[in-house]
Amino acid sequence: MHIRIILNEPLYAGNVGSIARVIKNFGYRDLVLVGPCPIGDEARMMAQHAYDLLEGAKVFETLGEAIEGSNLIIGTTGTRGETAGRHIRMPMYTPEKVREKLSGTKGEASIASIIFGREDRGLTNEELMMCDMLMSIPTAEQYPVMNLSHAVAVVLYELSDLETGDILLADRYDLDLLYEHLESVLCDLGYPVHKKHKTTLMLRRIFGRAELTAREVYTLRGILRLIDYRLRRG
């Protein structure tokens, strides 16, 4: 599977260089930076023979731009438990469990973007809401937060023996259409306005963890269209 590493607003150039080196160590090539710190000599020194990967990194102003085209969006966090932000329950997967879930997907045809947050405060609740899955590395409770480059190394090590297969995940465009359709149907059903946002987020999390194929998305949208039709007749 094509793995894209996204660093969201990294603070230290040395970490960016070290991560470029780690990515190349494990045979990956796709590094994306969102609003990064200045990338200078320190980053180049830490990158060593991954200087080409560092120079070729794509840079975006927003996280939304960086995840475009992703079939699956995985956020990383040091938070323990199953709650990411108030009222939003998301199970945490270890890198090992993520590897198991991704096994069997169709090679380069499917893109999994793995987002790593800022060194000082990670990803915000709003950014976590953009993710289909959350991943957390099992560490000691006394000091759970890892150095950013070390965390990337652990994740890529676990994914280095990922076995591909024939399952082609739905693309982001079709998934977004599904989520918009779900929200529209909730409105048509007269779903309580004060509950709609939380319920829509919950449905996104459920379907995100399910790793839907294109065929499954089309089937779900067909059911939603039938609901629309019945509502109009009513």
pLDDT, tens digit, 9 for 90 and up, residues 169-185: 898 889 999 999 999 99
Cβ count near 104 (within 10 Å): 14
140 and 53 within one domain: yes
**Angle at the Cα of 51 from the Cα atoms of 163 and 153, rounded to 5 degrees:** 40
Q: Does the structure show a pLDDT above 80 at 234?
A: no
66 and 18 within one domain: yes
What pLDDT shows up at residue 19?
98
pLDDT, tens digit, 9 for 90 and up, residues 28-39: 999 999 999 999
pLDDT, tens digit, 9 for 90 and up, residues 177-229: 999 999 999 999 999 988 988 898 889 888 988 889 989 999 999 999 999 99
Please, which residues have CB within 8 angstroms of residue 125's CB and are 6 or more apart in sequence? 84, 85, 86, 88
Whether 164 maps to a domain, the answer reads no
Query: Any idea how long the chain is?
Result: 234
What pLDDT shows up at residue 87?
44
Q: How many domains does the chain have?
A: 2
pLDDT band at 24, cuts 50/70/90? very high
Three-state DSSP class for 67? coil
pLDDT, tens digit, 9 for 90 and up, residues 37-61: 999 999 999 999 999 999 999 999 9
What pLDDT shows up at residue 81?
54
Phi-psi map region of 65: left, alpha, beta (phi>0 left; psi -120 to 50 alpha):
alpha
What pLDDT shows up at residue 80?
59
139 and 105 within one domain: yes
The range of the structural domain enclosing residue 58 comes to: 2-159
pTM: 0.86
pLDDT, tens digit, 9 for 90 and up, residues 81-135: 544 444 456 778 999 999 988 888 876 678 999 999 999 999 998 999 899 999 9
Q: What percent of the chain shows pLDDT beyond 70?
A: 94
State which of 96, 130, 159 marks the end of a domain. 159
Whether 122 maps to a domain, the answer reads yes
Closest Cα to residue 75, out of 108, 118, 37, 14?
118
State which of 109, 135, 159 marks the end of a domain. 159
180 and 143 within one domain: no
CATH number for position 209: 1.10.8
Looking at every residue in the chain, the average pLDDT score rounds to: 90
Whether 191 maps to a domain, the answer reads yes
State which of 137, 159, 181 marks the end of a domain. 159
Within 13 Å, how many C-alpha atoms sit on residue 87's CB side?
10
194 and 97 within one domain: no
